[in-house]
Amino acid sequence: MAGPDLAGVLSVWITVAVLSCTPEHLGPAMIDPGVPPRGRPTTLTAATAPPTTVVSTTTTGAQRGTVPRAVVDTTTTTTTTTTTTRPPWPSSVEEWRPYVAIYFSDHGDVDRVLGLIECESFGDPYAENPTPTRWGHAQGLLQHMSTLWEARAATALLAGYPNGGDIWNPLDQLAVSKYLVDKTLLSWDHWACNR
């Protein structure tokens, strides 16, 4: 049986990525700035899908049938590998997956960014930490610091990470975040929620 056609898979992926970038997929707060932010819910609902566990086992040793004398004394070795996948992110976070995937191509990095989004803003692109720090307020989807934002956005743009410099635009936040991960010494350590 032949595997999937790589060009066909890429074509479908690109189509999905393009279609998911339309304004109606950004949610009401992105279409109409007058819509108030969703905010962090007071209770979390349990994930709909339970974690999945995959176990693969390989066995080596004597085979059935006639076995030469040298193999009869061979012991059997069993190797077990267990992989556990996590339940899906809350919908307010999971809805950002296609946008995160535009900037972070590695699957592990996509989930890592979704974890940051869950921890920092719970998916609310208008989230703001009311407690100021010496760098201003943490704002937006990935909670960039307000006094550092302008310089970081400009530097990211010059380095080839296109953004419009709007701290409240989640796509600008993702572009600047990718720049920080790729091109700065702190990389992922720009976020306290980093796991």
pLDDT of 21-53, one tens digit each? 444 444 434 434 444 444 444 344 444 444 433
d(CA 176, CA 195) in angstroms, rounded, equals 19
Residue (of 67, 79, 118, 77) closest to 97 by Cα position: 118
Token pair 């920080």: residue: 180
Q: Is 132 left (phi over 0), alpha (psi -120 to 50) or beta?
A: beta
Helix (H, G, I), strand (E, B) or coil at 78: strand
Asked whether the beta carbons of 174 and 142 are under 8 A apart, the reply is yes
Query: Both tokens of residue 123?
Result: 């998916």
Query: Both tokens of residue 68?
Result: 């030469």
Amino acid present at 92:
S
Count of Cβ atoms closer than 10 Å to residue 3 Cβ: 6
Model confidence at 141: pLDDT above 50: yes
Q: Which sequence spans correspond to the domains of the chain?
A: 54-85, 87-195
Architecture of the CATH domain 87-195: Orthogonal Bundle (1.10)
Per-residue confidence band for 192, with pLDDT thresholds at 50, 70 and 90: confident
For helices 146-158 and 170-183, angle between their N-to-C axes, nearest 10 degrees: 70
In sequence order, the 6+-apart residues with CB closer than 8 A to the CB of 29 are 35, 36, 37, 38, 124, 125, 126
Least confident residue range of 43-52, 70-79, 131-140, 173-182: 43-52
Mean pLDDT of 169-180: 98
Asked whether the beta carbons of 167 and 122 are under 8 A apart, the reply is no
Query: Both tokens of residue 52?
Result: 């999945």
